[in-house]
Every structure is written in C-alpha cells, then in structure tokens.
Amino acid sequence: MSLESKISILKDRAEMLSQARLFFSKKHILEVDTPLLSSTAPIDAHIDIMTTKMHDGRLGYFHSSPEYAMKRLISAGLENIYQISHVYRFGEEGHLHNPEFCMVEWYESPCSFDKIIDNTVDFIKIFLSGLPVKIASYEETLQKYTGLSLKNATENSLAEYIKEHSPEAPNDIFFWDIDTLLQYIVSFLIEPFLGNDELFVIKYFPASQAALSQVTEHDNLKVAERFEIYYKGIELANGYHELSDSAEQRTRFSISNKKRVELNKEPLPLDELLLKALEKGLPDCCGVAVGFDRLMMLRHKKKTIAEVIPMAWSEV
Amino acid sequence: MAQYSTGDVRPGFKIEVEGEPYNVVSNEFVKPGKGQPFNRIKLKHLKTSRVVEKTFKSGEKVDVADVEETKMRMLYKEADDAIFMDDNSFEQINVPLSLIGDNEQWLMEEVLYSITFYKGIAIDVQPPTFMEMKITETAPGVRGDTSGRVLKPAILESGAKVQVPIFIEEGEKIKVDTRTGEYVSRV
C-alpha cells in the first residue's frame, strides 16, 4: 500500500508512542534500551531466531523479545523498567505478523499477578478506550467454549474433539502431544470468538505452557501464572509472574531445546549471564509484553499490521 | 517427490494433499502466543474447483503437485473431443469436451489455450482472457444509443452467447472477456 495513505496513522503512531512513554513515566517505570543483538537467544521451541555474522566471528542473534537482558538489569537493581523495542522472529509473516515488529515490554516489582493484569488492561485502554474487561481462567474458558476440561483431557479426547469440530484439521492429530492439541483448539475454536466487545483476559495457563512464569495451584489444577489478553479474537498481551529460580530456569531451557531438536531445529546457546543473574537473585516481579502494532491496528480498525507500520517486510 | 514447507506456500502454488491436486488460494499464518504455529491454507481442487481449507503445522512439508501448464493450439472439434497441438513438438492430444465444460463455448480453431496437466493427463482447459471473434447472429443494429449501456443478445462464431450494445451489427468483430462473457469493445 502507498505510504501516502498511511500518513495520518503514522502521525497517530507517534502520538501513541509518546502516550505509552507518559504512562510509564507517571508510574515511575524507567525506560531502558537493551541490545537487539546478543550472543545468545531467547529459547522457545516455536520461535525462530534471526542471526547475523559478527566481525569477531561470533554469531549475533536478533532478540525475539528483550526479556533476558531486561531481567539482568532487574537483578542488578533496576526493578521497574520498560522497553519499546523492535523484535525479530524468523518466518512470521501474515496479516497479524511481520518478521520485525514493535513490542512494549515492562516489569514491575513488587507486583502481584492480578495487579499486572490490571496494569496491562490500563495500558491497552490508552489505545482502545471504554472497553469492558472480562477475566476468566484458561480452564473456565476451555469449558465454556468447548465443554472440555484440563482435569480429564487426554490426547485422544482432544483429538476426537478436533476431528468432530474442525474438518480442516490434518489427519495426524491423533499423534500430536497434548499442548499442540490444546493450542490448535484455542487458536481455531476459541480465540476467534474472544473479546468481540470487551478485553478478554485468560489467566492460569496449563503448567506445561508456563514459558517463563511461575507455576502454582488453582482450582485443583497445576497452572502457570501466565495471562494473555485478547480483543476481537486477536492476542495483544502475554504476561507472567516471573520465574526467578535459576535451576528451574535451566531445566526449562533444556526442555525447550529438547523440543527444538525433536522439531529438527537447532538447539540454542543458553544465556549463562541470565542464569547467573537469577542465581544472584531476581526480586519477585511480574512482566508483560504487548504488541504495539496490533494495538495500532485495532485502534484504527485495520485488518493487517502492514497498514499501521511505516513499511512491512513486503514493502522494503 | 518435490516438497514445499507449509510456511513458504504462496497463492498460485500447486500442491497435492491426500492424493488430490489443488491450487493454493491463500495461506494464513496462525500462531498462539508461545505455541505451535499453524498454516491454514485455502485450496481449490484442480479438477472439481471445490474450495477446502486445510490446517498444517508450520514447517511441515507438503508435496508439490505434478502439474504442468502448457499452451496448445486447438486444431478442430469432434463429437466428444477437442484436438489440440503443441506448437513446438507438434504432438496432438484429444481432450474430452466433458472436461472442458462451460469453456467449450470459447473454443475456436487456431487459438492458443492454456492446458493444465496433472500427472500427464489434461485436467483443465482455459481460454485466453480476451478473445476477438465475429458475431454470427444478432438483431439488426439500432442507431441513436451509443452509450453502450443498452444491450441485446448475440451469438459469437464459437457459439458463445453474449450481450452486446444495440448498435453492434451481425458480422462485426468484437473483443470479449471470457471470464465473464462481457463485451469489451469493437475490434
């Protein structure tokens, strides 16, 4: 699309970037700008990292999130920080994705899990004002939209459910693991219906999908203190009560790397500096990442993020 | 067999799913926050034109359909077949009219058609988007209205029935859009 047609949105984008900064400065949360390039990478089974060869022969990894570097700063004493950063994800392109996008990430300490949800809702409301908010657990949401429950779900029962309700599903679902099946159900049979007229918060994800959050017990289930916020079926935020246990963090890194190897992907180097920082001590804190471009897209009632960023990958 | 990664599949690619050949209409990338990414691919069956959606894990491989598109010249029509020739190899093939379907109305000798082969067998015949042909039958032309908005039926030399402006005469040559059957201009 033409740049000329984006001018008024880009002016609003500048305004919203300064509104975002104002939000944080009022809360005495400090802006930081950690490096985009690092010699280690965030390790996620399903997030692929872009690399570049550096002058000293080492591989530079473009961050897919500023999380690890920010946690090192928190451990060193900068407890309330935010970053508005471009992040990079290999292969992610579509109407809701661009391989490079703008993420707003922040951490608060001390902060309860419920408080970070409230604060994230407040932040989103700068962009999308006047929306009511609904908060439900993953289990409640799953039950409400599908009748399924984490308490008795098995690979087979989930695959049967998909087979019955999603004719476009592949034939090999009966060989999928439980998280992939749940992610399929959430992505195609629940998410599209979330938050039509409200901000919809899902909290307490299955413990197996904890990522970097703490695991706890809720409603007789082992769950992660992790939440996501949706509006009009689109995921806007992903936040955690942050894991601070260094040994547990190391275990999760190796689980993610093991999963990567199973998926025929390269395992990624561990960020020993992050692990050392966690060992030294990470104060009890909560953190969240919000997709700035998606907020702009919904604010301007657009269908693709290409319409609200200066230039998408297909335009440069 | 050649394969594509589901993430690389673009509209227009020809892929084979569960043994059937499809044309890719669209490919949507769907990714839950921290989870398994998927590609939801809309497919149009190359023979039946039926549109279906299939979901794949991103990065999975799909087979490239053994599909080839060739331009061939129509030589003549028989009772049940049309005979086409490859201008380079002079190879001739018979294509059943039943397969050509509605596009039979656009068949004209000496014109180049796009023929799609799946595993070596013709499965689709497409005419050029625009064709020029004579009107063999229509009511006499009416002078006065030259806006082109008032139309009357006409039959073209290929047998196609189209609507033309009322000022057009029998025997005149016109340009027609074969996708819609709409009159474009006089030639």
pLDDT per position as a tens digit, A45-80: 999 999 999 999 999 999 999 999 999 999 999 999
The b/e string for B85-101 (b: 16+ C-beta within 10 A; e otherwise) is eeeeeeeebebebebbe
pLDDT per position as a tens digit, A93-131: 999 999 999 999 999 999 999 999 999 999 999 999 999
pLDDT value at residue B1: 74
Q: Identify which has the larger pLDDT, A2 or A296.
A: A296
Of B28, B35, B54, the CB nearest to A94: B28
Of B7, B36, B54, the CB nearest to A91: B7
Of A93, A168, A183, the CB nearest to B36: A183
Q: Does some domain include residue A148? A: no
How many Å apart are CA A271 and CA A247, to the nearest integer?
A: 13
In total, how many domains does chain A have? 1
Pick the CATH number of B131-186 from 1.10.3470.10, 3.40.50.720, 2.40.50.140, 1.20.1050.10: 2.40.50.140
pLDDT value at residue A30: 98
Which residues of chain A are within 8 Å of residue B30 when distances are taken between CB atoms?
A: 94, 187-188
The b/e string for B157-171 (b: 16+ C-beta within 10 A; e otherwise) is ebebebebbbbbeee
Among chain B residues, CA nearest to A228: B33
pLDDT value at residue B142: 78
* Cβ contact, residue pair A47, B56, below 8 Å: no
Region for B178 from its dihedrals, namely left if φ exceeds 0, alpha if ψ lies in -120 to 50, beta otherwise: alpha
- Element of type H or E holding A225: strand A221-231
Neighbours of A301 (CB within 10 A): 8
pLDDT value at residue B141: 80
Two tokens at A252? Answer: 């999760």
């946690």: which residue's tokens?
A71
The one-digit pLDDT tens for each residue of chain B (187 residues) are: 799 999 899 999 999 998 999 999 999 999 987 889 999 999 999 888 899 999 999 989 999 999 999 999 999 999 999 999 999 999 999 999 999 999 999 999 999 999 999 999 999 999 999 999 999 999 988 777 777 778 999 999 999 999 999 999 999 999 999 999 999 999 9
pLDDT per position as a tens digit, A197-222: 999 999 999 999 998 999 999 999 99
* Residue A56: HSE in the Cβ half-sphere, 13 Å Cα cutoff: 4
* Cβ contact, residue pair B40, A94, below 8 Å: no
Neighbours of A255 (CB within 10 A): 13
Nearest to A128 by CA among A34, A209, A16: A16
Peptide bond into A110 cis (omega under 30): yes
pLDDT value at residue A246: 95
The bridge status of strand A199-206 relative to strand A133-137 is: parallel
Helix, strand, or coil (residue A52): strand
pLDDT value at residue A6: 96
Q: Which residue range(s) make up the domain with A107?
A: 4-132+197-315
Pick the CATH number of B3-64 from 1.20.120.430, 2.30.30.30, 2.60.40.10, 3.20.20.140: 2.30.30.30
* Cβ contact, residue pair B55, A184, below 8 Å: yes
Distance from the Cα of A91 to chain B's closest Cα (Å) equals: 7
Fold for B67-126, please state it: OB fold (Dihydrolipoamide Acetyltransferase, E2P) (2.40.50)
Among chain A residues, CA nearest to B7: A91
pLDDT value at residue A171: 85
pLDDT value at residue B107: 96
ipTM score: 0.87
* Cβ contact, residue pair B58, A211, below 8 Å: no
Nearest to A225 by CA among A299, A313, A115, A314: A115
Chain B positions touching chain A (beta carbons under 8 Å)? 7, 18, 28-38, 40, 52-59
Angle formed at CA A69 by CA A65 and CA A72, multiple of 5 degrees: 140
Nearest to B158 by CA among B66, B44, B82: B82
pLDDT per position as a tens digit, A221-266: 999 999 999 999 999 999 999 999 999 999 999 999 999 999 999 9
Q: What is the CATH number of the domain that holds A90?
A: 3.30.930.10
| Order of strands across the sheet that contains B61-64 | B3-5, B61-64, B14-17, B20-30, B38-45, B51-57
Q: How many CB pairs under 8 A join A and B?
A: 64
Distance from the Cα of A95 to chain B's closest Cα (Å) equals: 8
Which residues of chain A are within 8 Å of residue B59 when distances are taken between CB atoms?
A: 91, 263
How many Å apart are CA A122 and CA A124, to the nearest integer?
A: 6
Among chain A residues, CA nearest to B27: A94
* Cβ contact, residue pair A180, B35, below 8 Å: yes
Q: Find all residues with CB under 8 Å of B185, minimum gap 6, and list them.
A: B174, B175
Q: Say if CB B57 and CB A265 are below 8 A apart.
A: no
* Cβ contact, residue pair B35, A209, below 8 Å: yes
Distance from the Cα of B131 to chain A's closest Cα (Å) equals: 32
Q: Say if CB B52 and CB B36 are below 8 A apart.
A: no
pLDDT value at residue B150: 87
Give the start-to-end residue ranges of the domains of chain B. 3-64, 67-126, 131-186
Question: Best mutation site among B20, B55, B58, B61 for testing chain A: the one with the most A CBs within 10 Å?
Answer: B55
